[in-house]
Amino acid sequence: MLVVLTGGTGGAKLIEGLAAEIDPAQLTVICNTADDAVFHGLYVSPDIDTITYTLAGLNDGERGWGILDDTFAVLGQLRRLGNDVWFNLGDNDFATHITRSRLMAEGLTLTQVTERIRAALGVKATVLPMTDERVETRVVTPEGELSFQEFFVKERWSRAVESVHLIGAERCKPAPGVLEAIRQSSAVVIAPSNPITSIGPILAVSEIRKALRHSVVNVVGVSPIIGRAAISGPAHKLMAAQGLEPTAFGVAESYRDLLNRFVIDSEDRVLRSRIEGLGIRVLETAIRMTCIADKRRLARQVLALLEK
Amino acid sequence: MLVVLTGGTGGAKLIEGLAAEIDPAQLTVICNTADDAVFHGLYVSPDIDTITYTLAGLNDGERGWGILDDTFAVLGQLRRLGNDVWFNLGDNDFATHITRSRLMAEGLTLTQVTERIRAALGVKATVLPMTDERVETRVVTPEGELSFQEFFVKERWSRAVESVHLIGAERCKPAPGVLEAIRQSSAVVIAPSNPITSIGPILAVSEIRKALRHSVVNVVGVSPIIGRAAISGPAHKLMAAQGLEPTAFGVAESYRDLLNRFVIDSEDRVLRSRIEGLGIRVLETAIRMTCIADKRRLARQVLALLEK
């Protein structure tokens, strides 16, 4: 059993590769939920959805969110009805949020709903939220505090960031199955996702971090950063705001109590000795994934590194 | 000010004609809400929507429900996600139900939500629910009790009907504006809608029936029935189950304490003297509306009858 901790976009690419290289039934994906938000009264869980759609072969790989070839009739009409529609949601995607919201209103947990959607879409891997409790990433800017989606989507991460904090993470319990999956895993992968707002919230759940720290299996991370910028999104900006060096070294450092292997881009070979100084074995390779061949090749390299 | 009591399909046709013949700002439409139902966790108010879409020029006149040229991506994906999707809802229509459900969850009344959607869609007439409280039509069949939508849509009104009853109608208050509109009206139209499940629930709100009974203005009804069958839908079947003669006479009889004018089809001229025996003046004309010209012509005839 392979456990992967992930956010959305970047992590999804590696997971697509992993699911093509091993039996997906052997894969348990633990997803960040601190970006979850309610839009138009519907509960949206962007990272769970991106991962589930990716594993179902429905994802829009170009765009990084939503369902391939989705249409936008609902959103267009919501706009005409006077709703604020800054968060893009396709029609097929709406069906997910409508289903989830109804089931949660009926008393099902996020874990149970995620399982039901996974099964309906024929996904063989296990997809788990990090927790069934509400955790929220807050981004502090000079003009006030924003939710992650407000910062990331509405403001296109243009605002200066003073700090990032999480509401509800430390005290929440991991979702059912999360600790069991970590304990029974033969290896753990930390996907190339934002270390502050994607992996950070998962590791902020105390019992998850503790379980990983006590794990005796190999834990391999993949850098989401090349040079001083994230391959996509604002990871570098948020890392700097949190006092971390916005490089692959800063990522490795933030996971140093957990990691024993780390994959960085060949462009970052200058960072190798510093990362090794943290007691972490380093693999240099091409970490940018632009096609399925890239994703599978990187997945094979990660799997090989785990077996060493 | 002209007040119209209506259900969906049949009533919507006459209202389209009326709105074309007079200043729609002079029109107040009081809609049945006893068919309202929750689908996929969203509050759907079929008659309010049909009337609002019709007045906004968005209705699908052929089909009688929903928005013209709507797409069905959400419903298709809801089906793939394992939901029961026997009630057809288009993507643009979903935007209405999503907006309404969110606003109601935020504490707005159905009246306030209806007003907001009306304004957003540029409708000049006033559209009011009969009540802001929950009223529900129940159809009793030998195999058990059904909601109206279950009977009408899911079972395609094929089941034998023993009786129809309403939950919550008698004790509920009319929605704000309903009694004022009736008191200030210069005339009232009872649209050619189902007398049991569309007009019946409106008149079952005690204060509405009382206000109409005390009204001194002309009240004109239009028959939804030709011969022994409704122009569309199960009105005749439900009337028979309720012990009413399933004809234009039976409709007139059920409104006899309110009506002083009634429009029947020329085919039903044999019923004229019986209806006149109830103290109701009768106009015979073609009441089937298959195009906008029919709707406007019938609307003009109704308006002329009101002025007499």
pLDDT tens for B241-262 read 999 999 999 999 999 999 999 9
Distance CA A134, CA A34 (A): 8
Residues of chain A in Cβ contact (below 8 Å) with chain B: 40-42, 70-71, 73-78, 80-83, 90-92, 94-96, 98-99, 101-102, 105, 116-117, 120-121
Q: How far is B165 from chain A (nearest CA, A)?
A: 28
pLDDT for B308 = 74
Which helix H or strand E contains B47, and what residues bound it? helix B46-55
Chain A: residue whose CA lies nearest to B118 = A81
pLDDT value of position A65 = 85
pLDDT band at residue B272, thresholds of 50, 70 and 90?
very high
Residues of chain A in contact with residue B105, where contact means CB-CB under 8 angstroms, are: 41
The predicted structure's pLDDT at residue A64: 77
Q: What is the pLDDT of residue B64?
A: 77
Listed in sequence order, the residues at least 6 apart from A156 whose beta carbon sits closer than 8 Å to its beta carbon are none
pLDDT confidence of B60, banded at 50, 70, 90? confident
In SS3 terms, B192-221 reads as CCCCCCCHHHHHHCHHHHHHHHCCCCEEEE
The predicted pLDDT at position B204 comes to: 97
Contact A80 B117 (CB under 8 A): no
A151 touches A159 (CB < 8 A): yes
Q: What are the chain B neighbours of A101 within 8 Å (beta carbons)?
A: 41
Among chain B residues, CA nearest to A38: B102
Over residues A79-102, the mean pLDDT reads 97
**Beta carbons of A95 and B78 less than 8 Å apart:** yes
Answer for the pair B84, B71: CB distance below 8 angstroms, yes or no: no
| Nearest-Cα residue of chain A relative to residue B71 | A73
Q: Amino acid letter at A114? A: T
Map tokens 């026997």 to a residue: B86
Answer whether B3's CB lies under 8 Å from B184's CB: no
Residue among A43, A49, A74, A112 with most chain B CBs within 10 A, to mutate: A74
Which helix (H) or strand (E) is B1 found in, with range?
A: none
**pLDDT tops 90 at residue B80:** yes
pLDDT of residue B184: 96
Please state, in angstroms and as integers, the Cα–Cα distance from residue A180 to each residue in A42, B79, B141, following that order: 30, 33, 51
Confidence bin at B170 (pLDDT 50/70/90): confident
Q: Assess whether pLDDT exceeds 90 at residue A6.
A: yes
- Which of A98, A114, A115, A118 would you mutate first to test chain B, the one with the most B CBs within 10 A? A98
pLDDT tens-digit readout, A192-229: 999 999 999 999 999 999 999 999 999 999 999 999 99
**Model pLDDT, residue B211:** 97
- Identity of the amino acid at A204: A
pLDDT band at B151 (very low <50, low <70, confident <90, very high): very high
pLDDT bracket for residue B278 (50, 70, 90): very high
Band the pLDDT of A170: cuts 50, 70, 90: confident
Is A40's CB within 8 Å of B121's CB? Answer: no
Amino acid at A150: E
Query: DSSP assignment of chain A, as one string?
Result: -EEEEE-SHHHHHHHHHHHHHS-GGGEEEEE--TT-EEETTEEE-HHHHHHHHHHTT-B-TTTSSSBTT---HHHHHHHHTT----S---HHHHHHHHHHHHHHHTT--HHHHHHHHHHHTT--SEEEES-SS--EEEEEETTEEEEHHIIIIISTT-S---EEEEESTTTSPPPTTHHHHHHH-SEEEE-SS-TTTTHHHHHHSHHHHHHHHT--SEEEEE-SEETTEESSSSHHHHHHHTT--SSHHHHHHHTTTT-SEEEEEGGGGGGHHHHHTTT-EEEEE-----SHHHHHHHHHHHHHHHH-
pLDDT over 80 (residue B96): yes
Q: Are B52 and B118 in contact (CB under 8 A)?
A: yes
Q: Which residues pair with B138 in a beta bridge?
A: B147, B165
Q: Please write the tens of the pLDDT for every residue from A242-296.
A: 999 999 999 999 999 999 999 999 999 999 999 999 999 999 999 999 999 999 9
The string of pLDDT tens digits covering residues A47-66 is 999 999 999 999 987 787 89
pLDDT of A105 reads: 97
Q: What is the pLDDT of residue A63?
A: 80
CA neighbor of B198 nearest in space, from B41, B2, B15: B15
Place of tokens 């692959």: A248
| Cα B198 from Cα B233, distance rounded (Å) | 11
Gap from A98 CA to chain B (nearest CA, Å): 7
Q: What is the pTM of this model?
A: 0.95
Average pLDDT score over residue span B216-227 = 97
Greater confidence (A308 vs B48) lies with B48
**Under an 8 A CB cutoff, do A73 and B81 touch?**
no
- Residue A161: what are its φ and ψ, rounded to 5°? -115, 130
Chain B partners within 8 Å of A78 (Cβ) = 95, 98-99
Task: Supply the pLDDT for residue A239.
Answer: 97
Note the pLDDT of residue B61. 73
Supply the mean pLDDT for chain A.
96
Size of interface A-B (CB pairs under 8 A): 98
Q: Which helix (H) or strand (E) holds B32?
A: none
Residue A135, pLDDT above cutoff 80? yes
pLDDT at A51: 97
Please indicate whether, in this complex, the C-beta atoms of B98 and A40 are within 8 angstroms of each other: yes
Q: Which residues contact residue A49 at a Cβ distance below 8 angstroms, ignoring those fewer than 6 apart? A: A65, A93, A96
Round the CA-based radius of gyration of chain B to a whole number and report it. Answer: 18
Tell me which amino acid residue A172 is.
C
